[in-house]
Amino acid sequence: MVSLKKGFFLFISLCVLLNNAYPFFYQDDQNPDSLLKKAKSSKDQLTGIKLAKQAWQNANNTNNKITLIKSLNFISASYWDLRKYDSAKVYASNALIAAGKYHVDSLSGDSWLNLGMADYKMGALKQSVDEYKKAADIYKKTHKLSALATAFLNIGICERKLSQYSTAVDYFIRSSDIFENLKDEESLSYTYNSTALCFGELNNYPKALSYNRKALIIRQKLNDKRLVGLSLNNIGFAFNRYNQPDSAIYYLSKSLAILRHEKDSSSMVFTLQNLGSSWKMKGDLEKAEGYILRSQRIATNYDMTEELARGNADLAEVYTQQKKYKQALAAINNTINTAQQLKLPELLLEAYTIKFHLYEHSGDYKNALLYDNKRSDLKDSLFTVAKQKTIDELEIKYQTSQQEKDISALHLQNNLQKKIVRQQKLSITVLIISAVLLLLLFVIAYNSFRIKNKANLRIQTLMRDMHHRVKNNLQILSGLFAMQIENLSDEKTKDALRENESRLTSMNLIHNKLYLDNTTTKIEMNEYLTKLLTHLKDSFGGHKHNGINLRIEVINIMLEADKAVAIGLIANELATNAFKYAFTDKGGEIHLGLALIEKSKLLLTLGDNGMGLKPENKDKAPSFGLKLVNLMARQLNSTLVVKNNPGVFYQMEINI
């Protein structure tokens, strides 16, 4: 009996000891910082939220202010990922209250950002903008540049949804500047996508495609399949709006093939809607309806209100063409109600247009006139000259670096001219300085335009004057070379001057075109290259060269001036070599070709049927002309391929 009592008391003592020791053994597991760390590393979001809530409670009990606020912000962001936006707002608000109570302003930026993201998804766009701006103010003070750029990007997205393109573009520029400096390419790709949407909504689809392709190149380099799929969808959407359904279906089908393997199928909603719209454009209403209904089912599962409204707009157009007017009216009324509720003027304009066509199609001309007036009034309020001017500012910013490269190339060319024609040194130097100053004035004028947004007419005048003066300066230089050639007796010096005169001509033809037509920055390549080679043949003259036949096969394609200048200089150098060295007195043929071998790739070829490269010349150091060709090839991200016998044949693939 005594032994039994001793055993009982020993058991009770052991239990008390273990109970008192438990907090020491599990103290680390109950530490709020450790719990929050586990929450962030958890692969299951619900488990992460549970651990974060426990961290929040423990931090509150231990007066750990920093971890308490961080836990609330983490819970808010997790609920946002789960599309529980009401819960996300509640926890973000609690985090904000705690940050104010404990005077931890440095953490309130994330709270404002989470509030803005939740309100954006709930349709409160103006309130979302205010919250993003408060987050940006905090990030500025705490020097959190990446978060600041994200806040700017989100503000721009909201302003674009509100059709405030001027403000949206300004924030996209500020965001992209930071992401570029931080070398955050993934985030920069989102900025390019948002910029493309601005261009698309202003019906400038070539520019929209350009920026979507910039985003695609970045995402392919990052090897992120989901982001690549989204970029392919954006390109397909731009082609759809550009009324090119076959190209749209090509890119959208590639996007769907990638996105269908993602766990989160919500990304497929946009691609399916765009496929439906593209097939509708081609007249296959059955396929169109199938894709749209499939997108509606997914959007319903994910409670995607705005996307459901856009799908209903597409369905209304399909039903109208199928003469199912009752179903079409119900679908478009749902779109109008959602667009008004979420304050989406672009979607509302589209819905008014669809309803106008619906009534017109069904013969209800009274209601058709009513909605025609509604869409006209709304369109006038959305699209103004000021918005287009602001979009132009964005294009100017991204072209500045290319303009600086052009100036550097011109400076290099002028230095060469000074060495060859020493007698004209002073005159040429003055002209070079004048040209550079004019180009600098041009850049300064455009930067001033971006800041003040009031000098559009003055800048256009400066552009025209700049092209005029540069054209005149190049013509003066060309005339000086011609005069010098006449006064020289040494043939080698004459040939050197002729080569430089032809290089000037290749640039002068560009500036002459830009001066005559200041409405475009593109050059028609067939006309340009034909004039260039004809001038080159005339400049060499002589009986030998009269027997040389030019065969020019260039497609009708418009290229930006920077690419046109580079291709012109390459063609000039290679053709000059052919004129000088390829033929005997019997003459021969020079062939120049420019063909489109892929959707975005050109093949430049130049060849002759002359005597070819001599063996002793193959190992010689490249001449200045070939160095210039290789420099231009690198600028075009390409490589020159040379083949010999019979004649000499050059080819180069160029991305456009």
Q: Please check whether residues 550 and 597 belong to one and the same domain.
A: yes
Q: Is the pLDDT of residue 378 over 70?
A: yes
CB 152 within 8 A of CB 171: yes
Identify the residue with better confidence: 5 or 163. Answer: 163
User: How far is Cα 577 from Cα 385, in angstroms, rounded to an integer?
Assistant: 50
Note whether residue 247 is domain-resident: no
What pLDDT was estimated at residue 606? 95
* Average pLDDT value for residue range 215-219: 90
CB 325 within 8 A of CB 358: yes
Q: Is the pLDDT of residue 406 over 60?
A: no
Beta bridge mates, 588: 548
Between 17-21, 173-177, 254-258, 327-331, the lowest mean confidence (pLDDT) is in 17-21
* Average pLDDT value for residue range 150-154: 93
Q: Is the pLDDT of residue 229 over 80?
A: yes
Supply the DSSP string of 359-412, one letter for each residue. HHHHT-HHHHHHHHHHHHHHHHHH--HHHHHHHHHHHHHHHHHHHHHHHHHHHH
pLDDT-based confidence at residue 2 (cuts at 50, 70, 90): very low
Note whether residue 186 is domain-resident: no
CB 354 within 8 A of CB 311: no
What pLDDT was estimated at residue 104? 86
Tell me the Cα Rg of the chain.
Answer: 33
Q: Could you tell me the two tokens for 5?
A: 């009592």
Q: Please check whether residues 488 and 552 belong to one and the same domain.
A: no
Q: Please check whether residues 551 and 610 belong to one and the same domain.
A: yes
Task: State pLDDT tens for residues 162-213.
Answer: 888 888 888 988 998 999 899 999 999 989 888 888 888 888 888 888 888 9
Q: Please check whether residues 594 and 652 belong to one and the same domain.
A: yes
Cα 375 vs. chain centroid, distance in angstroms?
30
Q: Please check whether residues 537 and 619 belong to one and the same domain.
A: yes
Do the bridges between strand 601-608 and strand 588-598 make them parallel or antiparallel, or are there none, so unpaired? antiparallel
Domain that holds residue 636: 533-656
Task: State pLDDT tens for residues 509-567.
Answer: 776 776 666 667 788 999 999 999 998 888 776 545 667 899 999 999 999 988 999 99
Do the bridges between strand 548-554 and strand 641-644 make them parallel or antiparallel, or are there none, so unpaired? unpaired
Task: State pLDDT tens for residues 583-624.
Answer: 877 778 999 999 999 888 999 999 999 888 776 655 565 677
Q: Please check whether residues 582 and 513 belong to one and the same domain.
A: no
Q: Is the pLDDT of residue 1 over 50?
A: no
What pLDDT was estimated at residue 19? 46
Nearest Cα to 193, choosing from 246, 151, 142, 229?
229
Amino acid at the residue 41: S
What pLDDT was estimated at residue 207? 85
Q: Is the pLDDT of residue 79 over 50?
A: yes
Nearest Cα to 333, choosing from 302, 359, 300, 369?
359
Q: Please check whether residues 486 and 583 belong to one and the same domain.
A: no
CB 196 within 8 A of CB 415: no
Greatest mean pLDDT among 291-295, 481-485, 503-507 lies in: 291-295
Note whether residue 638 is domain-resident: yes
What pLDDT was estimated at residue 401? 42
* Average pLDDT value for residue range 445-453: 67
Task: Report how many domains make up the chain.
Answer: 2
Q: Is the pLDDT of residue 143 over 80?
A: yes
Q: Please check whether residues 463 and 555 belong to one and the same domain.
A: no
pLDDT-based confidence at residue 575 (cuts at 50, 70, 90): very high
Q: Is the pLDDT of residue 154 over 90?
A: yes
pLDDT-based confidence at residue 107 (cuts at 50, 70, 90): confident
Q: Please check whether residues 430 and 496 belong to one and the same domain.
A: yes
Identify the residue with better confidence: 359 or 21. Answer: 359
What pLDDT was estimated at residue 637? 92
Supply the DSSP string of 426-464, one letter for each residue. HHHHHHHHHHHHHHHHHHHHHHHHHHHS--HHHHHHHHH
Q: Is the pLDDT of residue 416 over 70?
A: no
- CA 391-397-400 angle, to 5 degrees, is 140
Note whether residue 592 is domain-resident: yes
Note whether residue 384 is domain-resident: no
Spatial neighbors of 477 by CB under 8 A, at least 6 apart, are 417, 428, 431, 504
Beta-strand (E) ranges in 437-554? 522-524, 548-554
Burial of residue 238 (CB within 10 Å: 0-12, 13-18, 19+) is: buried
Nearest Cα to 325, choosing from 361, 293, 370, 372?
361
CB 640 within 8 A of CB 652: yes
Q: Which of 472, 491, 519 is the last residue of a domain?
A: 519
CB 136 within 8 A of CB 155: yes
List phi, psi (to 5°) of 607: -145, 165
What pLDDT was estimated at residue 571? 93
Nearest Cα to 568, choosing from 520, 524, 600?
524
CB 498 within 8 A of CB 439: no
What pLDDT was estimated at residue 16? 44
Order of strands, sheet of 601-608, starting from the edge strand that comes earlier in the sequence:
548-554, 588-598, 601-608, 648-655, 641-644
Identify the residue with better confidence: 379 or 240. Answer: 240
Task: State pLDDT tens for residues 56-68.
Answer: 999 888 889 899 8
* Average pLDDT value for residue range 357-365: 88
Average pLDDT of every residue of the chain = 81
pLDDT-based confidence at residue 393 (cuts at 50, 70, 90): low
Q: Is the pLDDT of residue 574 over 80?
A: yes
Q: Please check whether residues 430 and 540 belong to one and the same domain.
A: no
* Average pLDDT value for residue range 431-450: 75
What is the reported pTM? Answer: 0.49
Nearest Cα to 203, choosing from 166, 242, 234, 236?
242
Q: Is the pLDDT of residue 502 over 90?
A: no
What pLDDT was estimated at residue 583? 84
What pLDDT was estimated at residue 463? 58
Do the bridges between strand 648-655 and strand 548-554 make them parallel or antiparallel, or are there none, so unpaired? unpaired
Q: Is the pLDDT of residue 328 over 80?
A: yes
What pLDDT was estimated at residue 405? 43
Beta bridge mates, 549: 589
* Average pLDDT value for residue range 83-94: 91
For the chain, helix, strand, coil in percent to 5 are 80, 5, 15
Note whether residue 501 is domain-resident: yes
Q: Please check whether residues 510 and 568 belong to one and the same domain.
A: no
* Average pLDDT value for residue range 408-421: 53
What pLDDT was estimated at residue 7? 53
Q: Which of 519, 542, 567 is the last residue of a domain?
A: 519
pLDDT-based confidence at residue 402 (cuts at 50, 70, 90): very low
* Average pLDDT value for residue range 277-298: 90
Cα 555 vs. chain centroid, distance in angstroms?
27
Q: Is the pLDDT of residue 39 over 70?
A: yes
What pLDDT was estimated at residue 385? 43
First-last CA distance in the chain = 99
What pLDDT was estimated at residue 116? 93
What pLDDT was estimated at residue 644? 85
Note whether residue 155 is domain-resident: no
- CA 505-509-512 angle, to 5 degrees, is 130
Q: Which of 464, 489, 519 is the last residue of a domain?
A: 519
Q: Is the pLDDT of residue 11 over 60?
A: no
pLDDT-based confidence at residue 652 (cuts at 50, 70, 90): very high
Q: Please check whether residues 537 and 625 belong to one and the same domain.
A: yes
**Domain containing residue 547: CATH number:** 3.30.565.10
Burial of residue 319 (CB within 10 Å: 0-12, 13-18, 19+) is: buried
What pLDDT was estimated at residue 452? 66
Note whether residue 266 is domain-resident: no
List phi, psi (to 5°) of 638: -135, 180
User: How far is Cα 328 from Cα 311, in angstroms, rounded to an integer?
Assistant: 12
Q: Could you tell me the two tokens for 166?
A: 């001027």
Q: Is the pLDDT of residue 403 over 60?
A: no
